[in-house]
Structure 1
């Protein structure tokens, strides 16, 4: 038997387990933590950056962002997307940055941000 073939299927099995665990987490096993989400529009900051921010109303424990596909947006020009939690000594603020090349004034990029906030 070719063991390399069996090995190829292991990651998919792991992913399925991980998805089940995450769905349990999202469905309410958070204790006093809270999950929220928001759409944020990133706007032109420079030829290499689009930026935006959001406030969460509570201290942020963790966050992630993903780009929302829309026609006529500079998605292909984005090299990386990252977030900055709690800048300027403001633990409830998240800055979102898209870095790339060729951005011009008027470019807008929508991102979905998922946030886990700490109890008050």
Structure 2
């Protein structure tokens, strides 16, 4: 059976790190796109006298008519999930490496 050290290569860890960085960049870009679309939508609503504070029902109804907000929000959520997944994988590998680096305790004899 292959040990953990040989089955998890440096290339794999670097791949995960690169994917994590890529997800961070994607999240930042999609967040900016969503923020811009949301600011534009809020400005349109404000010009009509509709804000979440004054008329939440009308605000939500108008929001349904602007699918780009949902589109950008789904992109933000996608990159948040990627970021969490790659981050968790790297954290798990690091923890496993630390556990395997410690000397193993032998089980007590009866």
- Could you tell me the TM-score, scaled by structure 2's length? 0.25
* Structure richer in helix, relative to its length: 2
Q: Which has the higher contact order (CA 8 A, sep 6+)?
A: 2
Over alpha carbons, which structure has the higher Rg? 2
* Structure richer in strand, relative to its length: 1
